[in-house]
C-alpha cells in the first residue's frame, strides 16, 4: 500500500520514522501548505495519509478514491472531517497514550516557571539588572512554593491522573473537577465551581469540544476567588484569550502558563502576547507532547496500528 506523510517536519529530525510493515510505497513531505489542490495532488493515489496538523476536509476526502485510512500522528482529531470519512468508507485513526510522561512533566515546568518567575529572573540576570541592583540576591517578585497549595485538575484522563501523582509528590492537595453543571459522580470529584473558587493553581487537561470551548471565560474567571495561576496544556480554545488576558492585567488571576493557543502558530495580534513581560506568564509553542521519547513511542503505536490495518485488508 502507498502511504503519504504530509508533515513529517512536526517531528524531531533525530526521531526515526520508518514505514510501517505493509507499506510498500512511502512518500514523505516535510510540510504541506494548507491548500486543497496541493493536498489532493500529493495524495491522489495514496491508500493511507499520515498527518499531524494538515486539515483534511470533505472536498479533499471525496477527491481521493483510493484512500482507505487517515492516520493522524496526534491525539486530537479536529483537523479531519470525520463525517466525510464515514461517507467515503475511510477509516480515521489517532494515537493516544504516547505523551503520558512528556505532557505532565511539561505541565510542571510551566507551573514552576510561573510560580517562581523563572523567565523573569533569567532575564534579570542576563540583561544586567542583578548586577545593577548590587545585592547578593534579587527577589522583587515573590517565589511561590507548590507544597500545601491546592491544585484543581480539569480533565481527569490519563494525563490528568499523572499530574495528580506528581502534584501529591510536591505536597499539593488535588481536586478533580466534575463537568461543569454536573453533580460530582463520586467522592473523588469536586463540584466544578468549588474547584474554581478554592484552587491556587488550575491545570487544564480536557479535550476541546462544544462543551469546553471557552470553558475559561469572563464568568468562570470571576469565580476564581483565590486568584490562581492557570496552566493550559489542553487546547487553546478551552480558554477565551481576551478574557484571560484581561484577568491577568487586572490582577483577577495570578498568571497564565500555556503551551496552546486559539490560533497556532499564534500571531502578533493575539491578546495573550500583551502579557509576554508579566513575571508569572510563560508560553511554549505547542510542544508539551513532543519529548524525544514521546515521539518515538507515538511512532511505535502508530506503526502497529497501521500494520494491523493493512493486514486486515
The catalytic residues are 235, 264, 286
**The C-alpha cell that represents 306 in the structure block:** 497501521
Q: Do 4 and 29 touch, CB atoms closer than 8 A?
A: yes
List of residues 6+ apart from 232 with CB closer than 8 A: 204, 216, 238, 239, 256, 257, 258, 259, 260
**The C-alpha cell that represents 206 in the structure block:** 480536557
Quick one: CA torsion of 286, 301, 156, 201, rounded to 10 degrees?
Answer: -30
d(CA 26, CA 224): 51
Among the residues of the chain, which ranges form H helices?
36-43, 58-62, 82-87, 102-115, 118-126, 129-133, 158-169, 192-198, 218-222, 241-249, 292-311
Amino acid at each position: 500500500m502507498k502511504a503519504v506523510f504530509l508533515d513529517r517536519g512536526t517531528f524531531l529530525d533525530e526521531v526515526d520514522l520508518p514505514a510501517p510493515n505493509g507499506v510498500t510505497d512511502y512518500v514523505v513531505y516535510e510540510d504541506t501548505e494548507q491548500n486543497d489542490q496541493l493536498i489532493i495532488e500529493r495524495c491522489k493515489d495514496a491508500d493511507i495519509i499520515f498527518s499531524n496538523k494538515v486539515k483534511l476536509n470533505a472536498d479533499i476526502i471525496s477527491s481521493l478514491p483510493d484512500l482507505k485510512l487517515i492516520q493522524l500522528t496526534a491525539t486530537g482529531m479536529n483537523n479531519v472531517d470525520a463525517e466525510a470519512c464515514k461517507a467515503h468508507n475511510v477509516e480515521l485513526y489517532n494515537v493516544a497514550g504516547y505523551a503520558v510522561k512528556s505532557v505532565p512533566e511539561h505541565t510542571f515546568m510551566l507551573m514552576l516557571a510561573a510560580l517562581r518567575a523563572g523567565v523573569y529572573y533569567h532575564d534579570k540576570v542576563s540583561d544586567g539588572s542583578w548586577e545593577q541592583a548590587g545585592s547578593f540576591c534579587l527577589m522583587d517578585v515573590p517565589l511561590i512554593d507548590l507544597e500545601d497549595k491546592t491544585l484543581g485538575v480539569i480533565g481527569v484522563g490519563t494525563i490528568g491522573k499523572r499530574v495528580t501523582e506528581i502534584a501529591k509528590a510536591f505536597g499539593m492537595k488535588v481536586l478533580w473537577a466534575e463537568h461543569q453543571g454536573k453533580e460530582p459522580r463520586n467522592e473523588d470529584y469536586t463540584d466544578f465551581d468549588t474547584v474554581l473558587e478554592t484552587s491556587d493553581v488550575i491545570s487544564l487537561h480536557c479535550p476541546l469540544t462544544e462543551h469546553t470551548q471557552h470553558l475559561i471565560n469572563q464568568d468562570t474567571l470571576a469565580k476564581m476567588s483565590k486568584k490562581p495561576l492557570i496552566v493550559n496544556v489542553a487546547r487553546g480554545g478551552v480558554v477565551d484569550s481576551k478574557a484571560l488576558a484581561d484577568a491577568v492585567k487586572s490582577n483577577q488571576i495570578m498568571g497564565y502558563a500555556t503551551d496552546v493557543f486559539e490560533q497556532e502558530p499564534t500571531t502578533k495580534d493575539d491578546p495573550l502576547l500583551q502579557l509576554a513581560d508579566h513575571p508569572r506568564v510563560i508560553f511554549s509553542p505547542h510542544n508539551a507532547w513532543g519529548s524525544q521519547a514521546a515521539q518515538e513511542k507515538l511512532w511505535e503505536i502508530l506503526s502497529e496500528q497501521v500494520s494491523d490495518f493493512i493486514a486486515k485488508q
